[in-house]
Structure 1
């Protein structure tokens, strides 16, 4: 029986496949939302990552000590961060990084372990079976995106597929199915914070909030971020409908430096949606009638 640390991992997206045999393509990277780098498709393993120069860093959020950002250095694959929330009912890990090593396991256990993992979309499925097994916790994925799972087996029965528009992960922690980037793309809401992953992306102009002129953009909404393919208005509007019932003044994105803190964050998100819809030539779309 193969050791899962020898299973192949795509160097471009960090997804682990359930095989040690040679692979010629990664279905995640061959999809138009992602890409194969100019150097071509290449592979590694979790064992190789652990034996190499990679390590995970743990950085507390400047605005809330109950939030910790996990990232791998030097950058590996897409380079996203995972976000650990310390809630009164237990810890939740939002999104994943590929590398899981003993230092990471020890750190998370030192602050209470994990009650659940929630992954926003298939680009961050990475090594989710490894994480769930080490922490003996479920991992929540959207039902609509099952086709992108690259390890078919689930021997520990850890996967939980979200079928409803919202799912309570723990008291006060809610997964919101927004769609767009992927059919099942998720957001996570907790304590007036919205964790947006790649479902919504904070833009450079969104990081400045003092004396902002009317009509300034804060967020973008894309089908593919690396290939710069925007969502249509009919895909953007359901994102707004999904978050409309929730209040938030902070958004945390998938990468370092993409946190926005502003009492008007929710209004700025709607403003940004309306800017993108108007600039795509849709002057009478229903989302333009939405008001904060």
Structure 2
């Protein structure tokens, strides 16, 4: 308990140092830089801007609320990482979920590690740290690798050293970006796995790729069954079908979404249906009040 109190007091003291214009630290050579860089400091959330290099684009709302509840009970256990931009102005490098969850419960300060980095270094740090996270989907990871190639000109060998992954693993992720965008979306939404995607990618024709993707979803094919389907395609063997999906199913979904769900919930409901009739309904909300309104509608 004593250590925790001392650590928090130290963070507050360093925060005061950063707010002193006479001690504005802009590089690691500046006075008192050693007291700030790499240390845990209590930063005002209002002084932190979101990192434009953040590879994550999807944040699960339920998971975010669970994290917010945990932070409310236990505090922010793992500090976020930021880089100093200007006087009392910082940019997030990693920890956006923690920052969002802290904001959700009304916190004004969060513990943070301070880094001083240029844009390229910030991009590399953000991408490498996020690639290591377990909750990024395969396409987000692939896009992160691609950005390291396009914007930092890292080779796959250099990336392998940076992220601690085999070069073949990095290559497998990058190959996913050759899939038809519809299939990439299917991987991101969890309709098929990365293993399915790796099997489909052996077919160059994008139309054939999407045909096989539809079969995987409608017939609930395993990765091994998908590999066999691809092999049969290359060998010219006709694929077996198990019940043809109704041709007008997509039309029915669109009309139902437009005329029923959207009107009832008062928001743009997303409906995804596979050929076998299985699917999911996503109802977005804009605030806690909007969320409670939708709950009341569902509960009648």
TM range (shorter): under 0.3
Larger radius of gyration: 2
TM-score (norm 1): 0.24
The structure where strand makes up a greater share of residues is 1
Please give the TM-score of this superposition, normalised by the length of structure 2: 0.23
